[in-house]
C-alpha cells in the first residue's frame, strides 16, 4: 500500500485562525514542519465513513445489522441512549460487549459511593491524560445531563479541591501505575473537609482505570468521531484523537485499503501466518514432551530478558506535550508526565503476581468497598481472556489459548508484573516485532496509534480478530492499573 510522506499529500486545508485545538497534534512530523511555517493553517480532515477509520464500514455494519442481541443490550445498558461507535465496533464480539456494557453502566448509573456528575468528570479527567477527545466529548454531555455544574468544564481550577486531589493518582495510574503507594492513598483519605472515603476512592480508581484503558481501545480501533450536524461541507476540523491527516488521506479508499495488496504482500503475509501456526504447534509439542519444567532461575532469566527487550520496542516519535491543546489541557495537571519503561528503574522491584492476585486479593477488596463491582469486573476479565472462536485467519479448529495468554502477559510485563508460572520465552516466539510495536503503542501511548501500525501486523487476520486483540490489551491494562492501586489500598489498611 503506497503512502507518501510529503505534506503535499494531505487533504486540502482551510485557512482560518490559529485557535483550532487540534492544530498540529495528530499530524505526522513532515506535515508538522509545514504547519509550523503556516501558523494560520487549520487542518481539516474528510470524515471517513463508518465507526472506525481502520476497519471497512461494511464489515462492522454487516455484523451490527444482524445482531439483535447487541441492540437489546444497548437499549438496556446504554448511558448515552444511542448506539455509539465504540459499541458498534465492540459489537463484533457480542459476548464481551454484554460484560463491558453491564460493568460500565453499573459504574456510571447504578447506586454507588460517588454522585453521578463526579463519575462523568472523573471519566473526563482520565480520558484527558491520553488526549482522547472522543471520550471527553461524550462525558461532557453526560456530565451536564446528570446535573453537573457547567463552570467545572472551564478546567480543574473550577472544581472542588477533593476532585483536584485525584490529579496525582490519575497521572500515575495512566502512565506509571507502579509508583502508586500507600502514601498516595493516605493523602487522599486523611481526615479533613476534602478527604475521600475508601469506598469513594475505590469507585474513583475503578473509573480512572476503566477510562484510561478505554482510551487505548478508542485509539487502537481507530474509533471515528460520531457524525453530527455541525460538520462543515463534509469536513471536520482535526481533533486530538483523529489520526494523522496524511496517514488517512493516502489510504484514498478506506473501504478497500485492507484488500488492496500486491501478490508479494499477500504471499508474505500468508507465510507469516503459517510461521505463527508452526511456532504455536511447536511450543505446544515441546510443553507436552518436557519431562521437567524449567527451573525457577531459568524462568526468572526469561522474564528479565523479555522485560529488557520490551525497552527496545520503540514507537513513533511524537511531541507529547498536552499544554497547547486548550480543550484537553484544562483537565490535565503536569501534562509532560508520561509512560517511562518500567525496566529502566533498577530500584523498583518487579510486582510478583502471586503475591497480590486479582482473584485472591484485588477482587475481594474492591467488592467489599464498592459492592458488586468486583463480580462485574471479574466476569469481564474472564470473558475477554477466554473468548475464542477457535479460528486464526483462514484456519479453523485452532486452540488460541497460548496466543491470548502471550498478549495479556506481555502487557503486564511492560507494567512490571510477572507470573512465576509463565514462560516468557513464549512471548518472543509468538509476538512478532510489528505486533509488539502496536501493543506497546496502544497500551502505553495510545494517542500515537496510526493506521499504519494497525495494518502492519497480522495482515491475513480478520478485523474482528484485531478488535479482539484490542479488547485483550484494554482489559490487561485495566487489570494492571487496578492491581497496583488496590495493593496500595491494602497496604494502607494493614
Residue from 28, 31, 132, 444 carrying the catalytic annotation: 132
Check: CB of residue 90 under 8 Å from CB of residue 100: yes
If residue 391 lies in a helix (H) or strand (E), which one and from where to where? strand 391-392
Q: Cell triple for residue 244?
A: 494523522
Q: Which residues of 165-199 are buried (b: 16+ CB within 10 A; e: fewer)?
A: ebbbbbbbbbbbbbbbeeebbeebbeeeeeebebe
Check: CB of residue 184 under 8 Å from CB of residue 488: yes
- The CA distance from 456 to 343, in Å, is 26
- The CA distance from 129 to 123, in Å, is 10
Q: How far is C-alpha 478 from the geometric centre of its chain's CA atoms?
A: 9
If residue 442 lies in a helix (H) or strand (E), which one and from where to where? helix 433-444
132 is catalytic: yes
- The CA distance from 276 to 354, in Å, is 30
- The CA distance from 41 to 21, in Å, is 12
Q: Give the residue among 204, 361, 245, 175 at the shortest CA–CA distance from 8.
A: 245
- The CA distance from 224 to 216, in Å, is 14
Check: CB of residue 105 under 8 Å from CB of residue 127: no
- The CA distance from 418 to 420, in Å, is 6
194-201, Cβ contacts within 8 angstroms, sequence gap of 24 or more: 194/160, 194/161, 194/162, 194/165, 195/162, 196/162, 196/165, 197/113, 198/369, 198/489, 198/493, 199/113, 199/369, 199/370, 200/113, 200/114, 201/489
Length in residues, the chain: 494
Which residues are part of the catalytic machinery? 132
Amino acid at each position: 500500500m503506497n503512502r507518501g510522506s510529503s505534506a503535499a499529500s494531505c487533504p486540502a486545508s482551510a485557512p482560518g485562525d490559529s485557535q483550532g485545538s487540534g492544530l498540529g497534534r495528530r499530524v505526522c512530523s513532515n506535515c508538522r514542519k509545514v504547519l509550523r511555517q503556516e501558523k494560520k493553517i487549520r487542518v481539516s480532515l474528510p470524515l471517513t465513513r463508518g465507526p472506525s477509520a481502520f476497519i471497512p464500514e461494511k464489515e462492522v455494519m454487516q455484523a451490527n445489522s444482524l445482531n439483535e442481541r447487541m441492540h437489546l443490550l444497548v437499549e438496556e445498558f446504554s448511558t448515552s441512549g444511542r448506539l455509539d461507535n465504540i459499541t458498534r465496533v465492540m459489537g463484533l464480539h457480542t459476548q464481551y460487549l454484554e460484560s463491558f456494557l453491564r460493568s460500565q453502566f453499573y459504574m456510571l448509573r447504578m447506586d454507588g459511593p460517588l454522585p453521578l456528575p463526579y463519575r462523568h468528570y472523573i471519566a473526563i479527567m482520565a480520558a484527558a491524560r491520553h488526549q482522547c477527545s472522543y471520550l471527553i466529548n461524550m462525558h461532557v454531555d453526560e456530565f451536564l445531563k446528570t446535573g453537573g455544574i457547567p463552570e467545572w468544564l472551564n478546567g480543574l481550577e473550577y472544581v472542588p479541591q477533593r476532585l483536584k486531589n485525584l490529579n496525582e493518582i490519575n497521572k500515575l495510574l495512566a502512565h506509571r501505575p507502579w509508583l502508586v503507594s500507600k502514601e498516595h492513598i493516605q493523602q487522599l483519605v486523611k481526615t479533613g473537609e476534602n478527604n475521600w472515603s475508601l469506598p469513594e476512592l475505590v469507585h474513583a480508581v475503578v473509573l480512572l482505570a476503566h477510562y484510561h484503558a478505554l482510551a487505548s481501545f478508542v485509539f487502537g480501533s481507530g474509533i471515528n468521531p460520531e457524525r453530527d450536524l455541525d460538520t462543515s461541507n463534509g469536513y471536520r476540523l482535526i481533533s486530538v484523537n483523529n489520526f494523522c491527516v496524511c496517514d488517512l488521506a493516502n489510504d484514498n479508499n478506506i473501504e478497500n485499503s485492507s484488500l488492496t495488496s500486491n501478490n508479494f504482500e499477500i504471499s508474505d503475509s500468508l507465510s507469516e501466518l503459517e510461521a505463527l501456526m508452526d511456532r504455536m504447534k511447536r511450543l505446544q509439542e515441546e510443553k507436552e514432551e518436557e519431562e521437567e519444567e524449567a527451573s525457577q532461575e531459568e524462568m526468572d532469566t526469561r522474564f528479565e530478558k523479555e522485560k529488557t527487550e520490551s525497552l527496545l520496542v520503540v514507537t513513533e516519535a511524537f511531541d507529547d506535550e498536552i499544554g497547547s491543546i486548550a480543550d484537553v489541557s484544562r483537565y490535565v495537571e503536569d501534562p509532560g508526565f508520561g509512560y517511562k519503561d518500567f525496566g529502566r528503574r533498577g530500584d523498583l522491584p518487579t510486582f510478583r503476581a502471586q503475591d497480590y492476585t486479582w482473584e485472591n486479593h484485588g477482587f475481594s477488596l474492591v467488592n467489599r468497598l464498592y459492592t458488586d463491582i468486583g463480580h462485574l469486573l471479574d466476569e469481564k476479565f474472564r470473558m475477554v481472556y477466554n473468548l475464542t472462536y477457535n479460528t486464526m485467519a483462514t484456519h479453523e479448529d485452532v486452540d488460541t489459548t497460548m496466543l491470548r495468554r502471550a498478549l495479556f502477559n506481555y502487557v503486564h510485563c511492560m507494567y512490571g508484573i510477572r507470573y512465576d508460572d509463565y514462560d516468557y520465552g513464549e512471548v518472543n516466539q509468538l509476538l512478532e516485532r510489528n505486533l509488539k510495536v502496536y501493543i506497546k503503542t496502544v497500551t502505553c501511548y495510545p494517542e500515537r496509534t496510526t493506521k499504519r501500525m494497525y495494518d502492519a501486523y497480522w495482515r491475513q487476520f480478520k478485523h474482528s480478530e484485531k478488535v479482539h486483540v484490542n479488547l485483550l490489551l484494554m482489559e490487561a491494562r485495566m487489570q494492571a492499573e487496578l492491581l497496583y492501586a488496590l495493593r496500595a489500598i491494602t497496604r494502607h489498611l494493614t
